[in-house]
Amino acid sequence: MEVNSAEFIASFPKESQCPTDGKPEFAFIGRSNVGKSSLINMLTRKGLAKVSGTPGKTQLLNFFLINKNWYLVDLPGYGYARVSKARQKTLASMINGYLYHRKALAMAFVLIDSNIPPTRIDLEFINNLGQQAIPFTLVFTKADRIGKMTLEKNVNLFLGELSKTWVQLPPYFITSSERKTGKEEVLNHIGQIIGK
């Protein structure tokens, strides 16, 4: 699938205020600084999502309309330590309120930093999604920053951890926003789901 148009629609503080036109939604989430904004820009166009050196920028549910027929939803990062406990709670209920209740959610893309071994926080987040029967796909990010061997090792360690709990493993992609690796694969995956 090609992206012909990508426009920012609006940011919402909670699920109940999000658009109700029923267009399928593809949500992107991951730990803060995992490369979410960079990935969204790589998939769509430069400058659509704000990339920054300061973690924790996205604090709302941000809706982008792609090709006038599906929404890309940029969710706040989870597990960002440098915000207050109260704020963390608000963000968690914003994220879970969206993921657990959203009827239009076609797929959640969970971004995982391919440069590091599996983290408890990512595994916990994914296990919760699985328990709630929310469809998700893994996207390993920043693949350009490490060697092939370490990359494979980290990916396999992650899948190995998941297979301790789940019989069926989710689809996954390996990406680099820097080198535009995985762009076609992720977009085609979305295209297949929406039937375009």
90 binds, among Mg ion, ligand GTP, none (CB under 5 to 8 A by kind): none
Least spacing, CB of residue 170 vs ligand GTP, in Å: 20
130 binds, among ligand GTP, Mg ion, none (CB under 5 to 8 A by kind): none
Q: Which is nearer to Mg ion, 28 or 161 (CB)?
A: 28
Least spacing, CB of residue 168 vs ligand GTP, in Å: 27
How close are the terminal C-alpha atoms of the chain, in Å? 7
103, 74 Cβ separation under 8 angstroms = no
Q: Which is nearer to ligand GTP, 115 or 194 (CB)?
A: 115
Least spacing, CB of residue 59 vs ligand GTP, in Å: 9
Q: Which is nearer to Mg ion, 46 or 148 (CB)?
A: 46
Q: Which residue has the tokens 């995992």?
A: 34
97, 132 Cβ separation under 8 angstroms = no
Residue 60's contacts (CB-CB under 8 Å, 6 or more residues apart) are 11, 12, 13, 76, 94
If you count them, how many residues does the chain have? 196
79 binds, among Mg ion, ligand GTP, none (CB under 5 to 8 A by kind): none
Least spacing, CB of residue 65 vs ligand GTP, in Å: 19
Q: In what order do the strands lie in the sheet with 6-12?
A: 6-12, 61-66, 70-74, 25-30, 105-113, 136-141, 172-174
d(CA 191, CA 196) in angstroms, rounded, equals 5
- Residue 128: left (phi > 0), alpha (psi -120 to 50), or beta? alpha
Q: Which is nearer to Mg ion, 18 or 34 (CB)?
A: 34
37 near Mg ion (CB under 5 A): yes
Least spacing, CB of residue 78 vs ligand GTP, in Å: 9
**Which tokens is 136 given?**
């998700």
Q: Which is nearer to Mg ion, 90 or 127 (CB)?
A: 90
Q: Rule CB under 6 A: which residues touch ligand GTP? A: 32-38, 51-53, 55-58, 77, 141-142, 144-145, 176-178
Q: Rule CB under 5 A: which of 43-82 touch Mg ion?
A: 57-58
Give the binding site for Mg ion (CB under 5 A): 36-37, 57-58
